[in-house]
């Protein structure tokens, strides 16, 4: 690989990192699993790379009674290995545990995954299903954006060039169950043909669905929020026919393309099948 | 740019382009046990161990190794002879191209705490063997985990 003039900066605080990004074509770097690939094929040629590996305030998982906060530089492997995440957010836990392979999970970071915005990623459906928000900072502002509104297009987010996702905040709700299920007909380490994140929240009777979310990856330019399908579950007791009906409704929400992971028709069929199975997982069977 | 890190237990200071790949830098140091396979982080032939975790050196920008503890097959072969013995005893190799990566991945298995055959299989799934000698590779890793 030929040498380049790309500057490589290693800040140790968020403040320093935000100062460092103020240059045209500068980018933040997390674990580098996606960035290195984009760079070695020269799809990106940044003027400056701001590596966040030594910014300790961006690392770690903090859990309180009302929310889970995960720092942007927390690795996917740490999320997959955390027993409290597995208990409180089983959908997120299983999504983190199936990404790529053990090496990718060890290197890849949560913030990097969000900013990269590949629509086949496993984590976004799992996070959107549990109402996760991204905390975003720049030198001049701080804001929170729901991940449901975070994705703007293929590899595009609502982030401004000077903004950094510092952490992801997930509210803890009692009576909510979540699950993530993917379909990888090629190899385990591949991106999924379709992945489904779902959550069901139950009323005080423990049976009636009071809120529901269904989100799919791999079948559109961004994670697809199947709102109508989820709506069909609300007010029901999520019995067999209701699940089948909701799963069929995802067909109208998705926009799959033909590729090596399946034709658009095949992905449509599999989206229905795996939505049904994911909802069953949510119910514990 | 000067990058400092530990390589196979020794402190290193290299003057390199931080955007070069760890794979190229390591092989440039005559440590050619680390192989390039797919070049996109899928096959595991180029696995190195960074702070105890397995890493694909073909998609690892060398700047991100700053201040890290890095091990390659050469260092691990000296440090963990019992791991090599397990692979020899169980014949956990055929043509050999994937073997350094398989061994380095096995050396880093503590990073995920895999100990059951099922967990070991899931963890090692990211290291491909195109001779498909998976049973003997898994037997080698299982033996290594059992005696450690």
Mean pLDDT of A104-108: 97
Mean pLDDT of A202-220: 97
CA–CA distances in Å: residue A218 to residues A143, A207, B34 = 28, 31, 33
The verdict on A166 and A181 lying in the same domain is no
Residue A99 belongs to a domain with what CATH number? Answer: 3.30.465.10
pLDDT for the residue A187: 84
- Across the interface, do A51 and B63 touch by the CB < 8 Å criterion? yes
Is residue A265 a part of any domain in this protein? yes
Q: How many domains does chain A have?
A: 3
The verdict on A134 and A183 lying in the same domain is no
The verdict on A71 and A162 lying in the same domain is yes
Query: Nearest residue of A to residue B57 by CA position?
Result: A103
Is residue A102 a part of any domain in this protein? yes
Is residue A187 a part of any domain in this protein? yes
Please say which residue of A146, A171, A196 terminates a domain: A171
- Across the interface, do A53 and B64 touch by the CB < 8 Å criterion? yes
pLDDT for the residue A226: 98
For the stretch B53-62, pLDDT in tens is 999 999 999 9
Rounded distance between C-alpha atoms, residue A83 and residue A30, angstroms: 24
Domain ranges of chain B: 2-72, 75-147
CATH architecture of B75-147: Orthogonal Bundle (1.10)
Q: Which two tokens stand for residue B49?
A: 């161990």
- pLDDT category of residue B142 using cuts at 50, 70 and 90: very high
pTM for the model: 0.95
Widest pairwise Cα distance in chain A: 64
Measured between CB atoms, which of A49, A51, A101 is closest to B125? A101
pLDDT at A2 over 90: no
CB contact A103 to B (< 8 Å) = yes
The verdict on A70 and A167 lying in the same domain is yes
For the stretch A159-201, pLDDT in tens is 999 999 999 999 999 899 999 999 999 888 889 999 999 999 9
Is residue A2 a part of any domain in this protein? no
Q: Which two tokens stand for residue A145?
A: 């954006």
Rounded distance between C-alpha atoms, residue B129 and residue B148, angstroms: 24
The verdict on A71 and A163 lying in the same domain is yes
- Same fold flag, B2-72 and B75-147: no
pLDDT for the residue A186: 84
pLDDT for the residue A5: 84
The verdict on A231 and A268 lying in the same domain is yes
- List all residues of chain B from 66 to 105 with a beta carbon under 8 Å from chain A: 66-67, 105
E strands present in A4-107? 7-9, 26-29, 48-51, 61-63, 67-71
H or E stretch covering A151: strand A151-153
Give me chain B's average pLDDT, please.
96
CB contact A6 to B (< 8 Å) = yes
Query: Nearest residue of B to residue A79 by CA position?
Result: B112
- pLDDT category of residue A285 using cuts at 50, 70 and 90: low
Is residue A1 a part of any domain in this protein? no
Residue B73, SS3?
helix
In this structure, the dihedral spanned by the alpha carbons of residues B88, B94, B99 and B105, taken in order and rounded to 10 degrees, is -80
- Across the interface, do B64 and A29 touch by the CB < 8 Å criterion? yes
pLDDT at A3 over 90: no
Domain residue limits at A83: 61-171
- pLDDT category of residue B114 using cuts at 50, 70 and 90: confident
The complex scores an ipTM of: 0.95
> Looking at beta carbons, which residues of chain A come within 8 Å of B39?
40
pLDDT for the residue A239: 96
Q: Among residues of chain A, what percentage have pLDDT more than 90?
A: 95
Are B21 and B56 contacting, i.e. CB atoms less than 8 angstroms apart? no
Mean pLDDT of A108-116: 97
Rounded distance between C-alpha atoms, residue A113 and residue A116, angstroms: 5
- Across the interface, do B56 and A32 touch by the CB < 8 Å criterion? no
Q: What share of chain B is helix, strand, coil (3-state, %, to 5)?
A: 45, 15, 40
Measured between CB atoms, which of B1, B42, B126 is closest to A8? B1
For the stretch B37-81, pLDDT in tens is 999 999 999 999 999 999 999 999 999 999 999 999 999 999 999
The verdict on A141 and A65 lying in the same domain is yes
CB contact B64 to A (< 8 Å) = yes
The verdict on A194 and A235 lying in the same domain is yes
Residue A240 belongs to a domain with what CATH number? Answer: 3.30.390.50
pLDDT at A1 over 90: no
CB contact A101 to B (< 8 Å) = yes
Please identify which residue in the block is written with the tokens 């200071």. B13
> Looking at beta carbons, which residues of chain B come within 8 Å of A106?
50, 53-55, 111
CA–CA distances in Å: residue A22 to residues A44, A153, B70 = 17, 24, 32
Rounded distance between C-alpha atoms, residue B139 and residue A106, angstroms: 24
Mean pLDDT of A20-43: 95
Which CATH class name applies to B2-72? Answer: alpha beta
- Across the interface, do A49 and B55 touch by the CB < 8 Å criterion? no
Mean pLDDT of A89-113: 97
Mean pLDDT of A246-258: 98
The verdict on A44 and A110 lying in the same domain is no
- pLDDT category of residue B148 using cuts at 50, 70 and 90: confident
Give me chain A's average pLDDT, please.
96
pLDDT at B108 over 60: yes
């Amino acid at each position: 690989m030929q040498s380049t003039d790309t500057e490589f900066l290693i800040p140790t605080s968020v403040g320093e990192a935000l100062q460092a990004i103020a240059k045209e074509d500068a980018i933040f770097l997390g674990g580098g699993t996606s960035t290195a690939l984009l760079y070695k094929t020269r799809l990106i040629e940044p003027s400056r790379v701001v590596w966040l590996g030594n910014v300790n305030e961006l690392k770690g998982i903090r859990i309180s009674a009302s929310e889970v906060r995960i720092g942007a530089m927390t690795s996917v492997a740490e999320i997959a290995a955390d027993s409290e995440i597995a208990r409180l957010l089983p959908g997120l836990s299983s999504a983190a545990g199936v990404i790529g392979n053990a090496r990718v999970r060890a290197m890849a970071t949560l913030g990097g995954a969000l900013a990269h915005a590949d629509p086949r990623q496993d984590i976004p459906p799992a996070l959107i299903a549990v109402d996760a928000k991204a905390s975003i900072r720049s030198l001049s502002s701080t804001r929170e954006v729901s991940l449901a509104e975070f994705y703007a297009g293929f590899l595009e987010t609502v982030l401004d060039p000077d903004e950094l996702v510092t952490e992801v905040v997930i509210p803890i709700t009692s009576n909510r169950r979540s699950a993530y299920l993917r379909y990888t007909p090629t190899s385990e380490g591949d991106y999924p043909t379709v992945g489904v994140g779902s959550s069901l929240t139950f009323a005080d009777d423990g049976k009636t669905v009071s809120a529901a979310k269904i989100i799919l990856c791999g079948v559109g330019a961004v994670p697809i929020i199947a709102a109508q399908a989820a709506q069909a579950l609300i007010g029901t007791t999520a019995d067999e026919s209701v699940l089948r009906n909701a799963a069929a409704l995802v067909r109208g929400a998705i926009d799959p393309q033909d590729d090596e992971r399946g034709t658009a028709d095949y992905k449509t069929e599999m989206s229905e099948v795996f939505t049904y199975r994911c909802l069953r997982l949510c119910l514990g069977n | 740019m000067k990058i400092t890190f530990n390589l196979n237990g020794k402190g290193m200071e290299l003057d390199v382009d931080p955007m070069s790949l760890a794979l190229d830098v390591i092989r440039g140091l005559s440590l050619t046990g680390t192989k390039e396979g797919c070049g996109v982080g899928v096959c595991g032939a180029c696995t190195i161990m960074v702070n105890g975790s397995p890493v694909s050196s073909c998609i690892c920008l060398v700047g991100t190794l700053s201040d890290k503890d890095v091990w390659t097959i050469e260092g691990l072969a000296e440090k963990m002879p019992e791991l090599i013995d397990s692979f020899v005893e169980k014949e956990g190799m055929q043509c050999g191209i994937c073997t350094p990566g398989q061994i380095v991945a096995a050396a880093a298995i503590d990073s995920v705490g895999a100990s059951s055959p099922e967990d070991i299989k899931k963890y090692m799934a990211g290291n491909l063997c195109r001779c498909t000698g998976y049973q003997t590779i898994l037997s080698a890793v299982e033996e290594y985990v059992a005696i450690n």
